[in-house]
Structure 1
Amino acid sequence: MSTYTFDDLAVVMGTYNEEQAIGSVLADIDRITDGRAEIVCVDGSDDRTPEIARKMGARVVEQEPQGYGVAVKEAVLTPDRPVVVTTDCDDTYPMEFLPKFLELINEGYDVVSGDRISPGAETMPTLNRWGNVGFARLASFLMGATVHDTTTGMRAYRRDLLHDIEWTENTGLSAELLLRPAMRGYKIAEVPIPYRERAGETKLDPFSGGAAIAKSIVKVCLEERARW
């Protein structure tokens, strides 16, 4: 089995009007990986986000805004490097965990998922936190296996897995990216991570967005159970 290094790593994200945070996120990735990781931003912004990203060496793929999942699906399928890490561009996720995620991929895991919920996620709005707990319980019930955080934005994947599965969800894509591999027998690790207060405004309505995510979890789990 290959031993992957930061030269084999792509860090990807969907970006939409994140000029307040994007510079800090990209600087963190460069610092942690010694500038060796490829960075891909799929961007639908009308502010300075793409300009800042390009100046800092990121590859920017421009896309009309079509929702979270459309951007992130494009982002995870774009790189050629064998390990792909997703993150959000709001500076909430700890890039210091990139070495740990890469280490677990090298140990044979196919997906390494950052679990914000188990450590407490105190900086997350209460409604969002309880919603995420509910999503995890719903998914665990339908899967017949325990997961702690279905909607985290920080995960590492083997690139081949991302191209072997057909992804169908938009708002619920982050859950789908965990649930389909888990239910197909891929090796999954959840790693507790700290979660910081976001920079900038959230774009997801907790009620309509939450309903869409719950619907995706049910749909994906039922589809995967039908494959058994």
Structure 2
Amino acid sequence: MKIAVLVPCYNEALTVKKVIDDFKMVLPEADIYVYDNNSKDDTSKIAAENGAIVVRETRQGKGNVVRSMFRDIDADYYIMVDGDDTYPAEFAKELLKPVMNGTADMTIGDRLSNGTYRSENKRAFHNFGNNLVKGLIGQLFKNDINDIMTGYRAFNRYFVKTMPVLSGGFEIETEMSIHALDKKFLLREIPIDYRDRPEGSNSKLNTYKDGIKVLKTIVSLFKDYKPLPFFLTISIVSFIIGLLIGIPVIVEFFSTHFIDKIPSAILALGFILISILLITNGLILDTLVKQNRQNYELFLNQYKMNKKD
């Protein structure tokens, strides 16, 4: 049985040694991989000196790092943790337990349930952003996951080797959560403690820029995974606008049997036609998504058969 600890890093020279030492103490049998994402400091040197397997990932962005990790590293079980020492290593065994006993394909380290994230996190609007993302995904994908964006997770090989990583940046956590929900992987949340970065260690997150990226990712994944409700919503809006513009034209026609508001009539007709096209697109794409799900299920079945062989 092989366990791999995955540590994506960018300028974490101040904290990476402690992260490695802590996980060595908790999981002495694990291999610790530090993927350095173009750090400008001594992250790679310090990680190598402290026994980690260091790999350089030149494509900038956490999503690109995770993609390379999932492709390159062969293990039975994986645990992913940030290199900033905000996630305590002592919760690693609790996260691994469900994936090792077969009750979960991915476990999620829930920072929000016990309140430590709200008390420790000093970055403005991050609590608001987490709640917003949680609410949006909860409504759109009908789930009760509490911490969508946590960077502390454990996986089995089945999930890692069948997860298509498309995101390039910090929106990777959101993508993994939505993919797991859509493809019916077994999920478990484990409440964990959270601690803010030590003094001198700076967050790489930009509250507004990365927040907008995450929201765009949610909208994009909603379109990709649930195209019928996505296009139906826009279709209804377009239909209502067309109806509001067209009602005066209809009233005028029934009153005078003539139409003087020609531009309004054309505009209203345009919105109605757009509405019809949108719902048609939604129906076609919904069929394609269902076929994709069927193909993915067959792919998962084939993966398991090959694993047994």
Normalised by the length of structure 1, the TM-score is 0.92
Superposition RMSD in Å: 1.4
Match of 1:118 in 2: 113
Larger helix proportion, structure 1 or 2?
2
CA distance in 2, matches of 1:20, 1:221: 38
CA distance in 2, matches of 1:215, 1:76: 24
Pairing of 1:23-62 with structure 2 (within 5 A): 23-34=17-28, 36-43=29-36, 44-62=38-56
Residues 125-184 of structure 1 deviation map (CA, whole Å, 9 limit, x = unaligned): 341111111111111111011111111000001122122131111231111112101211
Distance apart, 1:45 and its partner CA: 1.0
CA distance in 2, matches of 1:207, 1:193: 26
SS at match of 2:184: coil
SS at match of 2:161: helix
Distance apart, 1:101 and its partner CA: 1.4
Question: Which residue identity is paired with 2:9?
Answer: T
Match of 1:11 in 2: 5
CA distance in 2, matches of 1:181, 1:32: 27
Pairing of 1:44-123 with structure 2 (within 5 A): 44-64=38-58, 66-108=60-102, 109-120=104-115, 121=117, 122-123=119-120
Distance apart, 1:69 and its partner CA: 1.3
Question: Which residue identity is paired with 1:222?
Answer: K
Q: Is the 8 A contact 2:63 2:165 kept in 1?
A: no
CA distance in 2, matches of 1:161, 1:203: 27
Question: Which residue identity is paired with 1:112?
Answer: T
Which structure: larger Rg? 2
Question: Which residue identity is paired with 1:69?
Answer: G
Following TM superposition, where does structure 1 have runs of at least 4 consecutive aligned residues deviating by more than 4 angstroms?
Answer: none
Q: Is the 8 A contact 1:13 1:72 kept in 2?
A: no
Unaligned runs of 5+ in 1: 1-6
**1:221 matches 2:222:** yes
Q: Is the 8 A contact 1:18 1:90 kept in 2?
A: yes
CA distance in 2, matches of 1:221, 1:189: 22
Identity %: 29
Q: Is the 8 A contact 2:11 2:43 kept in 1?
A: yes
Q: 85-94 vs 209-218, which deviates more?
A: 209-218
Question: Which residue identity is paired with 1:47?
Answer: D
Match of 1:163 in 2: 161
Q: Is the 8 A contact 1:18 1:49 kept in 2?
A: yes
Distance apart, 1:218 and its partner CA: 2.4
Residues 53-84 of structure 1 deviation map (CA, whole Å, 9 limit, x = unaligned): 11111111112251121122222332211111
Normalised by the length of structure 2, the TM-score is 0.68
Distance apart, 1:212 and its partner CA: 0.3
CA distance in 2, matches of 1:194, 1:103: 17
Q: Is the 8 A contact 2:105 2:185 kept in 1?
A: yes
Instruction: Tell me the matched-pair count.
Output: 221
Distance apart, 1:12 and its partner CA: 0.5
Unaligned runs of 5+ in 2: 227-285, 291-309
Match of 1:21 in 2: 15
**1:143 matches 2:141:** yes
